[in-house]
Amino acid sequence: MSLINKRIGIIENIFVVILVYLLSTRYKNKYDELLIFTLGGIVLLRYYIDKEKLRINQSGKKIFFLLIIWTFCLSFSFINILNQYNKFGYYVILYRNLLIGGILLFIISLYLRLGNYINKKRIIILINLFSIYSVFKGLLFISENGVLRRGSIWGNPNYYSMIVGLFIIISYISLLYEKNKVLKTLYFILNMLQIFCLISIGQSRNVFFSLIAVYILGMLLFLIIEKKVKLFSKKTLGLLTIIFIILISINYLEINLRVFNVGVEEVVDDPRMLIWKKALIEENFNILHGKGFAYYTMNNFKDKVGVSIAALHNDYLEIFVTQGIFSLISYLLFFIFSFFIVLKKLFRERDICSFITLMIILYFGGIGMFDNPLYQKRVFQFLFLFLGLTLSSEIFYSDKLKCDRE
């Protein structure tokens, strides 16, 4: 490797660290797009100087085909809404975020060449380190407002719940993989503090129960990989016992904790039911191309409790109603196909990055059933970043490529 190429590689790695820092500590940043474009330019320059040709295998072609179809449907629905209003609206920001902050970031992540100084494992360590900031913000809020007070940090309580939920997954998987007892203890403390902030401030039931599913599935998958499946029932019983003790304590102390306030009545009376009914039944929409990208940001309506609704609180319904059936199918197939590629890699290599990516896909899909993480910039950016880092070695091949992508 030439000296110029080495220097470009170092600069590339520095920009990756800056990007990870911003994703982990900032709700939004005006330099986001500039940073992504710059990183993309560095990657292109490196491949041009190195004259390396990466070939895409069959799995990669399918991934790119589905991504292109979804991007086309996404853009078509954006043009549709633009023609309807012909003026700037929040939908423009959401579209730009998805296109540049999501899809472009995913493509760039596929082509990143991580070296000895910054590799996937160290990126995960950095995210865990930077995630302390979200805990600090949470504890600061608690010190000023009290425990179990739902509040807005980084936009709104739901967003804070989603992003902290991501950090919880990353610290949890890091805890499972870590062998060093001291670091394992630190990961455990970090994980508990993150959960405390989620329950106390964010209080999202959707995120909380999605995390419980991720914890149980993650534990089962880890034990399967480690060939210790017999321990699953014991560990799951321990986890459920802890949750049960917490529930009993909350009931005994008569604490009205929102994340546990779930029952048949709450589900039936949930405003989301009326929102979904309104979108699917009461209003007409074209099943092929939908109403237009992020239609409800320009057509807010009040739910039964008087809250202004600018999205349908369900990613799949939101895509179907606003972007059309083809967009929904390509979106689902893209993530389903990616999921199985990552799963196959995980069983083959047992690497932590694949494990985290798998759990983030499940988490994103889970919270997408009752909310719109697709419109939450940092949430989908972490998904696309990990997906790109993990899929890179699975869809490209090159006789010349000998760099460590791990």
pLDDT, one tens digit per residue, over 90-115 is: 889 999 999 999 999 999 999 888 87
Helices (H), 350-376: 352-367
pLDDT-derived band at 405, boundaries 50, 70, 90: very low
Q: Which of 69, 39, 129, 66 is nearest to 391 (CA)?
A: 66
Burial track 253-268 (b if 16+ CB lie within 10 A, e otherwise): eeeebebbeeeeeeee
CB neighbour list of residue 55: distance below 8 Å, 6 or more residues apart: 396, 397, 398
In this structure, of 11-20, 107-116, 211-220, 271-280, the range with the lowest mean pLDDT score is 271-280
Question: Bigger pLDDT: 300 or 177?
Answer: 177
Residue 261 CA to residue 332 CA, distance in Å, equals 31
Helices (H), 86-180: 90-96, 105-111, 120-130, 132-145, 157-177
Structure tokens at 35: 């940073």
Average pLDDT for 357-373: 94
Answer yes or no: is pLDDT of 43 > 80. yes
pLDDT at 402: 45
DSSP state of 150: -
Pick the most confident of 114-118, 302-306, 314-318.
314-318
pLDDT at 264: 47
Residue 187 CA to residue 180 CA, distance in Å, equals 10
In single-letter form, the type of residue at position 392 comes to S
Burial track 23-49 (b if 16+ CB lie within 10 A, e otherwise): bbbeeeeeebeebbebbbebbeebbee
In single-letter form, the type of residue at position 389 comes to L
Q: Are 42 and 11 in contact (CB under 8 A)?
A: yes
**What separation, in Å, do the N-terminal and C-terminal C-alpha atoms of the chain show?**
18
309 pairs with which residues across the strands? 301
DSSP state of 351: -
Burial class (CB in 10 A: 0-12, 13-18, 19+), 7: exposed
Q: Which of 363, 353, 356 is nearest to 393 (CA)?
A: 353
Residue 42 CA to residue 12 CA, distance in Å, equals 6
Note the residue count of the chain: 406
Q: Are 105 and 384 in contact (CB under 8 A)?
A: yes
Structure tokens at 48: 């041009």
Distance from chain centroid for Cα 212? 16
Answer yes or no: is pLDDT of 1 > 60. no
Sign of CA dihedral 229, 231, 237, 242: negative
Answer yes or no: is pLDDT of 397 > 70. no
Q: Are 8 and 49 in contact (CB under 8 A)?
A: yes
pLDDT at 393: 84
Residue 363 CA to residue 383 CA, distance in Å, equals 10
Answer yes or no: is pLDDT of 228 > 50. yes
Q: Which of 359, 371, 382 is nearest to 315 (CA)?
A: 371
